[in-house]
Structure 1
Amino acid sequence: MSTEPGPGPAGSGPGRRHEPDLRAMTRITLRPIASPMPLGFFTVAIASVMTGCLQLGVLGPADRQAVALCVLPAFALQLLVSVLAFGARDVIAATLMGSFAGSWLAYALVMGSGAPGGPRVLGVFNLAFLCLGALMAAVTRPKRALWLVLVVSLPRWAATGLGGLTGSEGAVRTAGALGILVALAAGYAAFALMLEDVRSGEVLPVGRSGPAQHAVEGGLAVQLRDIERQAGVRRTL
């Protein structure tokens, strides 16, 4: 009686078909895309100016719905940035921009609808976002542009959360001033990254270090190192 070798992966046990080593036959094709980060940072800057002006009293309570409508497009733009960043295999940037997109959508819906208890609910939301931001700041330091915007955003989320929960006018005004500071940091990061793309080199300092610096300044061999283990190339996430 003869036994045919059964199907299955190579080396999975006796009686299995041994497949040849496919590494020499494997080709990995990557599709380069333009960096979406300047768009993401400019969106953060503009939306932060609008919400900061509302918190500072430059825009009055009657302007809340109009501000919410102006902030709503930030959701779509930053969601687009997040999707493109995932396609570029930058999970940190994609997660941050996707989180910002969700926060703008929540803000626009609550403030635009005038839902009862909106400020208190947004206060809790901002404190929860503060915890997420602190975790992300701990791993984004090599990407100093992202890290800078996050670090400046942390106290703003804290002040916004406390202002919403307690109704403290001082906390709300502080959050508004910090919102303008976030806009300045995000605007600088966006401008620096756009200049870097146009000039094909760093013009304004963005402070990259570690893997982020190697990704920009390293050669092709550095770019391809361990690429078979990256998401979208390896078999499972």
Structure 2
Amino acid sequence: MSADHDQPPGGRHFEPDLRSMTRINLRPIASPMPLGFYAVAIASVMVGALQLGLFAPGAQLTVALTILPAFVLQLLVSVFAFGARDVIAATLMACFSGLWLASSLVLALDPPGGARVLGVLNLVFTLFAVLMASVTQRKRAMWLVLCVAVPRFAVAAAANLTGVAWLATTSGVLGLLLAAVAMYAAFALMLEDMRGEQVLPIGRSGPAHQAVEGDLSVQLRNLERQAGVRRTL
């Protein structure tokens, strides 16, 4: 039989309805965000302590080596967040990862003009954090971390660009505050993931609240429009 007889009249081709034959397999994973926030906290403590002069002179290389693992850990968190289809968390963790890598290299190598270059990087990261904060209001844990990160990196940028001592000290204090907020967010999310319900208040709302409190039907709503399921991003 000729292939022409298999086509509809007029030679038009209709794509069959594949909905009844489509299966979507979900792969649950543990939330990587506690690890990401813990990495932010630890690296922020080390850099903040350096800015506050709590270490002996010449400790820059040692601090650089201690914050380098934050780059690896947050890159790993970003990969898992992309796998969980959380583009906001993945983007934030990936950019934090790159920031720690750049900071570690500048502190370790101390290249000419490194402080000013790091200042520009911190300034750009501040703008990025502002944009991220504007779209994460319903994810309160992430939003709170970003609300502290914005002034911290803005002051750090000013300190790097001007070399003013009190700005570096202020940046160090804000760095410790950022560490405290990130540590709280990490612990709250970890308890929430372990018990399947909110234990410490983090102010979830909207889809972020439904992600924990909603049933399976809520979780699977509009799944066909999720990244990795639709045809194009």
Give the TM interval when normalised to the shorter protein. over 0.9
Unaligned runs of 5+ in 1: none
In the alignment, is residue 166 of structure 1 matched against residue 162 of structure 2?
A: yes
User: In 2, Cα distance between the equivalents of 1:6 and 1:192?
Assistant: 60
User: Which letter maps to 1:232?
Assistant: G
State the partner residue of 1:31. Answer: 27
Structure 2: state its 5+ residue gaps. Answer: none
Aligned to 1:141: 137
Matched with 1:215 is: 211
Between the aligned partners of 2:104 and 2:5, the Cα distance in structure 1 is: 62
3-state DSSP of counterpart to 1:236: coil
Question: Which amino acid letter does the alignment assign opposite residue 203 of structure 1?
Answer: V
Q: How many pairs does the alignment contain?
A: 232
Letter in 2 for 1:192: A
Contact preservation (8 Å) 1:123, 1:165: yes
Supply the AA of the counterpart residue of 2:193.
Answer: D
Residue 17 of structure 1: how far off its partner (Å): 3.0
Equivalent residue of 2:59, what SS?
A: helix
Per-residue deviation, 1:200: 1.9
- Aligned 8 A contact 2:196 2:212 in 1: no
TM-score (norm. length: structure 1): 0.94
- Backbone CA RMSD of aligned residues: 1.8
- Cα deviation code 1:8-29 (max 9, x no counterpart): xxx9x95133233111111100
Secondary structure of residue in 1 paired with 2:16: coil
Does residue 202 (structure 1) correspond to residue 198 (structure 2)? The answer is yes
Q: Hey, what does 1:132 align to over in structure 2?
A: 128
Alignment of 1:76-225 (within 5 A): 76-225=72-221
**In 2: Cα distance, 1:16 partner to 1:231 partner:** 31
Contact 1:81 1:94 (8 Å CA) reproduced = yes
- Asked if the contact 2:191–2:198 (Cα under 8 Å) also holds between the matched residues in 1, the reply is yes
Q: Does 1:72 align with 2:68?
A: yes
SS at match of 1:121: helix
Alignment match, 1:229: 225
The 4+ residue runs of structure 1 with deviation greater than 3 A are: none
- The separation in 2 between residues aligned to 1:223 and 1:3, in whole angstroms, is 44
Q: 1:6 to 1:117 in 2, by over 3 A?
A: farther
**Could you state the TM-score of these two structures normalised by the residue count of structure 2?**
0.95
Q: Which amino acid aligns with 2:62?
A: A
Taking every aligned residue pair, what percent have the same amino acid on both sides? 63
